Chain A
Amino acid sequence: MKEIEFSRRAFLRHSLLAIRNSMIVLSLPAILQSVANASEATLQGNSFTTLNTEEAVELAAIAARIIPSDETPGANEAGVIHFIDNVMGTSRPEVLGPLRDGLASLQNTVRATLTERKFSELDPQQQDAILQGIEDTPFFATMRYLTIAGMFSLPEYGGNRDYAGWKLIGFEHRHVWEPPFGFYDADYMARGE
């Protein structure tokens, strides 16, 4: 999954650079189709139950900027979109409508300010700029909430795959721990304080 994602990113970056240089404008629809195919590939493993594929691709792209894939895995590798899909159909059905409205509004912003059609087709810098513009909106707050919840909840809810979220912050899930728990209590014991 990670490999596909990175290659998609690279592909997008190069494509958009090319678009800006007006070199391959005529082949844009074909490129975007292949990008969409690549995005769908990153979302495989579970079919979506509540979101449609396009919504999933777009929301996943937002989640991927909230917790990006950089030197460590991000929302994409953790499957956060599957968590979002899951809770939209279970514990947060009331959020689905506002989320769809927010996404539509975001796409309008994208269309109004940039030449590309969809948020997911922008490069990361453009995506960040768009998101910075809506940081104070309920839609962004909801996406941040859902992304974090999906990143750090039990994997059974669809996200936090391979404990990607927990590994990121140094949380190891166990039922039994024994002292010493950290550096300072180990030091305290060693010194006999």
Chain B
Amino acid sequence: MAQASFATREQVDFVVVGSGAAGGIVTRELATAGFSVVVLEQGPYLQPGDFRHDEWSYTQNEELVWGSRKGHPQTFRRLESEKAEVVDGAPLGYAHNVGGSSVHFSGNFWRLHPIDFNEASVRGTIAGTNFTDWPISYDELEPYYTRVDWEIGVSGTTGPWDPPRSRDYPCPPMPVKSAGVLLERAARALGYTAFPAPVAILSQPFNGRPACIHCGFCNGFGCEVAAKSSTAVTMIPQALATGNCELRTGCTVSRINTANDGRVNEVVYWEEDGTEQAQRAKAVVLCANGAETPRLLFLSASDQHPDGLANSSGMVGRNLMFNGSSNAAGLFPEAINGHKSIATTRVIHDFYSIDPKHGFYGGGGIDSRSLTRGLPMAAAMRGGIFSGASWGSDFKRGLAEEFTHTASFNGHCTTLPLSSNNITLDPEVKDKWGRPALRTTFMNHSDDIATMKFFHDVSMELLDAAGAIKKVGAYARNGQTGGVHLLGTCRMGNDPATSVVDRFNRAHDVPNLFMVDGSSMVTSGRGQPTMTIMALAFRAADHIIQAARRNEI
């Protein structure tokens, strides 16, 4: 069936803002259930044939991840007492296109573990933080994780390292890369377990899509054969095929309007040429990501919602979490060729929860990668990893040696939710539409930094065990200055005084408004949140559909 077409004055059942990891799923579920849906997406609908191995464009000219160059400056500061400055590029990075960041992500697809949902109860709260339990358990989310596996297409293998799962992976693991072999052997030598990284990339044909061809331009790029399981090649085409859904690309939302009764009734947006439109809707689902969703809520302040839509708790935008990270690169005697195939093929979860006796809270995993995503320009920009030279003949010789012979063991770990880490509207800087720019205030809790150091140190030991000739490592010892996992800014909870959405992603304050994306995550998990964002989206959609059918929206 052809894509639907609705008039803006016609009241559709749902407007979904954002077509990414969560928006794609919510849209497909609502449209399949028979509801009329309009999806608004800032970026274009790129097809597999549009994606190119163009490092200059993708990594240096904001092809997918927009920042100042595309008229979307962001500002950053450490503390709420400071003035935020415009930062080059996009400190909070997310792709602007149909499928959102599920198009350019690495496809790393960890589920959360049961402990992630009730860790504050098990381990105890942490003074000065908003560390708390989720209002749902792993068991409640597990069926939706499995739906993601089978609806989206995930490659992996079941093992003792997995949290409990009701069904095996649909596709076997991806072939191991040399960096993965080195991590696996090092782990074995030190008594740890490396297992095949689960990824949302097809190791064999599935649901009409082909297997990965290992082209190497994966993380940061779009898949040219649709083997990466983005919502752009899975959920969105299915949603459009229902005939109940209209996808409007190049549309930037300016605000969500509120009726006198406090309910949302209209989404105002600009088309690409600047024409303003307003789509009437019975309900609105914000899937704009952990940065843009709170920004839109602030932009939608009204008499009924003076501090921002759905913000009676004052928690909108707060508790911003990334995932901590560390890297440790080793030079090896033989060729590794990190520029071929996917980002990572082996992961260690032996330190999913770091022993509290270390004196700080944290946990995470270590996976095998290329330090610079296997990209020639990125490797050269980084340059002199082991030679120390950054230009000249020694730099050249260093690059020639390093590019093919370097493996990196990367830590991915927890960060704690803090009120002082947040998204707000910049008071001065505006984007190309005249909207206040996204302002990030962020300084890691000391436990985050201790956790990153822990993973850095373990990774360096693993490099020794792997036989690295030279090694060099890094982590954000002074705190992170940005991230791509944008979490926690509309946290889920049972108490309207301390959370923004309820356990089914409905705004506490506004019965016909839902926030479904990384913003509802209560804790950061250990890394790779997209799997959880997608599972939450399937779960939220289930409950939205049931509530709508009961006329309870």
A residues neighboring B (CB under 8 Å)? 65-68, 70, 72, 74, 91, 128, 131, 144-145, 147-149, 151-154, 157, 165-166, 168-171, 173-185, 187-188, 193
Contact = CB atoms under 8 A, between A and B. Distances in A.
The 10 closest A-B pairs by CB, nearest first: A182-B178, A183-B334, A184-B178, A169-B403, A153-B56, A152-B377, A177-B214, A182-B337, A184-B181, A181-B340
B1 interface: no
Contact of A185 (B178, B216, B376): B178
B113 to A, nearest CB: 27
Contact of A128 (B340, B392, B400): B392
Contacts of B184: 188, 193
B178 A148 contact: no
B53 A152 contact: no
A185 B337 CA distance: 10
Contact of A187 (B52, B55, B181): B181
Contact of A174 (B69, B215, B335, B391): B215
Given A154-B54, A181-B341, A188 B176 contact: yes
Contacts of A175: 53, 213, 215, 224
A142 B336 CA distance: 31
A64 B392 CA distance: 9
A68 B377 contact: no
A170 B216 CA distance: 14
A153 B213 CA distance: 22
A182 B334 contact: yes
Contacts of B177: 181-182, 185
B60 interface: yes
Contacts of A67: 391, 395-396
A191 B151 CA distance: 36
A145 B216 CA distance: 23
Contact of B335 (A168, A169, A179, A183): A183
17 contacts: A66-B391, A68-B396, A91-B61, A152-B380, A153-B56, A154-B55, A168-B396, A168-B399, A168-B400, A169-B379, A169-B399, A169-B400, A171-B403, A179-B341, A184-B332, A188-B181, A188-B184
A183 B178 contact: yes
Contacts of B335: 170, 182-183
B286 interface: no
Interface string B12-40: 00000000000000000000000000000
B469 to A, nearest CB: 14
Given A182-B335, A182-B337, A65 B379 contact: no
Contacts of A145: 381
Contacts of A173: 53
A88 B60 CA distance: 14
Given A157-B56, A170-B403, A173-B53, A181 B337 contact: yes
B243 to A, nearest CB: 35
A171 B214 contact: no
A115 to B, nearest CB: 24
A148 B377 contact: yes
Contact of A70 (B214, B336, B396, B403): B396
B383 interface: yes
Interface string B159-197: 000000000000000011111111010000000000000
Given A168-B396, A179-B176, 18 more contacts: A66-B391, A68-B392, A131-B391, A144-B390, A144-B391, A148-B377, A149-B56, A151-B380, A169-B379, A169-B402, A169-B403, A170-B400, A170-B404, A175-B215, A176-B215, A184-B178, A184-B181, A187-B181
B83 to A, nearest CB: 23
A185 B176 contact: yes
B339 interface: yes
B82 to A, nearest CB: 24
B156 to A, nearest CB: 17
B551 interface: no
B275 interface: no
Contact of A148 (B334, B380, B404): B380
Contacts of B380: 148, 151-152, 165, 169
A152 B214 contact: no
Interface string B346-363: 000000000000000000
Contacts of A65: 391-392
Nearest to A66: B391
Contacts of A174: 215
A179 B175 contact: yes
A182 B333 CA distance: 11
B396 A184 contact: no
Contact of B214 (A72, A128, A178, A183): A178
A60 B495 CA distance: 64
Given A65-B391, A185-B176, A185-B177, A153 B377 contact: yes
B145 to A, nearest CB: 28
Given A68-B393, A188-B176, A171 B181 contact: no
A72 B61 CA distance: 29
B178 A171 contact: no
Interface in B395-435: 395-396, 399-400, 402-404
A188 B180 CA distance: 10
Contacts of A176: 213-215
A153 to B, nearest CB: 4
Contacts of B52: 154
A168 B399 CA distance: 8
A148 B392 contact: no
Nearest to B377: A152
Nearest to A157: B56
Contacts of A154: 52-56
B336 A72 contact: no
Contacts of B178: 180-185
Contacts of B381: 145, 148-149
Given A65-B391, A169-B380, A177 B175 contact: no
Interface in B43-88: 52-56, 60-61, 69
Contact of B55 (A153, A177, A182, A193): A153
Nearest to B188: A193
Nearest to B398: A169
Interface string B373-387: 000110111010000
A176 B399 CA distance: 24
Given A173-B53, A181-B177, A149 B60 contact: yes
B311 to A, nearest CB: 38
